[in-house]
């Protein structure tokens, strides 16, 4: 009898993580999502009843380990969490905000990786999320580019160190998710409209387009140590 895979998406109650969770569930996985905000966790039951949502902070190693142990063996781990600070030109960059950005993305990513490791299946896949800011040369992104480069730099050494487990990442460009909700709506619409005019593909990515790459990395058993750029060509243009 075929058994279903157990998948855990930390950061899976919104945006790219939620879209990836839904894709993987549609493919037959039993998918658990985790994040901090009780409202977002509760909303998953309404919007995506096929998922099992948990309230866990990726920065809390004991809580992450407890959840992973309860689900073990975890066949696919996806980490899509992040804060929203850290952008700005060098002259104006708020270094305290950039430190917080590392605390909100790099350190919880490390915590989740370390805390789940004993509970991963031998052939498990791990999929991280960087960003195209780590590959492109966009003014105002040196700080967050460094942050996302730090996340992506984990991929290749861990692909070898943790083998036969697989470790990959996606590098999204501009994606229409709640990540942008802190920006006033009119500014966001203006920014997306301008970006669409400049992007080679002519549109801002949807969360589901990024989720398609996450699902590929999580399921293709020959892919490891790979960073997939899913940016609509953003790395080739100045937005």
Ligand X SMILES: NC(=O)c1ccc[n+]([C@@H]2O[C@H](COP(=O)([O-])OP(=O)(O)OC[C@H]3O[C@@H](n4cnc5c(N)ncnc54)[C@H](OP(=O)(O)O)[C@@H]3O)[C@@H](O)[C@H]2O)c1
Least CB distance to ligand X at residue 137 (A): 16
- Inter-residue contact 222 to 164 (CB < 8 Å): no
The residues of the shown chain that bind ligand X, judged by CB under 6 A, are 10-11, 13-17, 34-37, 40, 57-59, 80-82, 105, 108, 129, 131, 172, 174-175, 177-179
Kindly tell me which of 121 and 191 has the beta carbon lying closer to ligand X.
191
> What residues have CB less than 8 Å from 59, skipping those under 6 apart?
103, 107, 108, 111
Least CB distance to ligand X at residue 2 (A): 30
Least CB distance to ligand X at residue 41 (A): 7
Kindly tell me which of 57 and 208 has the beta carbon lying closer to ligand X.
57
Kindly tell me which of 124 and 214 has the beta carbon lying closer to ligand X.
214
Kindly tell me which of 163 and 236 has the beta carbon lying closer to ligand X.
236
Least CB distance to ligand X at residue 199 (A): 12
3-state secondary structure of 156: helix
Of the candidates 71, 170, 65, 175, the one whose C-alpha atom is nearest the C-alpha of residue 126 is 170
Helix residue ranges, H only, the chain: 15-26, 38-47, 61-71, 95-104, 106-116, 142-152, 155-161, 185-198, 207-219
Cβ density class 72-93: b for 16+ within 10 Å, e for less: eebbbbbbbbbebbbbbeeeeb
Kindly tell me which of 120 and 214 has the beta carbon lying closer to ligand X.
214
With CB atoms as reference, the residue minimizing the distance to ligand X is: 15
Least CB distance to ligand X at residue 17 (A): 5
């Amino acid at each position: 009898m075929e058994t279903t895979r157990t998948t855990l998406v930390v950061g899976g109650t919104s945006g790219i993580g939620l879209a990836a969770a839904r894709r993987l569930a549609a493919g037959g996985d039993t998918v658990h999502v985790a994040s901090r905000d009780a409202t977002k966790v509760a909303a998953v039951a309404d919007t995506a009843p096929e998922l099992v949502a948990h309230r866990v902070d990726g920065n809390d190693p004991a809580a992450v380990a407890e959840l992973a142990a309860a689900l073990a063996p975890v066949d696919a781990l996806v980490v899509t969490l992040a804060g929203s600070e850290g952008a700005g030109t060098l002259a104006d960059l708020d270094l305290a905000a950039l430190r917080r950005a590392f605390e909100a993305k790099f350190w919880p990513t490390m915590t989740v990786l370390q805390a789940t490791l004993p509970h991963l299946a031998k052939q498990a896949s791990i999929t991280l999320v960087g960003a195209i800011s780590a590959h492109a040369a966009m003014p105002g992104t040196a700080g967050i580019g460094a942050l996302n480069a730090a996340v992506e730099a984990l991929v290749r050494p861990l692909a070898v160190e943790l083998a036969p487990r697989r470790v990959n990442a996606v590098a999204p460009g501009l994606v229409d998710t709640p990540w942008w909700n802190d920006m006033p709506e009119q500014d966001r619409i203006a920014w997306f409209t301008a970006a669409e005019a400049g992007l080679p593909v002519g549109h801002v990515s949807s969360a589901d387009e990024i989720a398609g790459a996450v699902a590929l990395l999580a399921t293709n058993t020959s892919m490891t140590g790979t960073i997939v750029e899913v940016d609509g060509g953003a790395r080739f243009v100045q937005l």
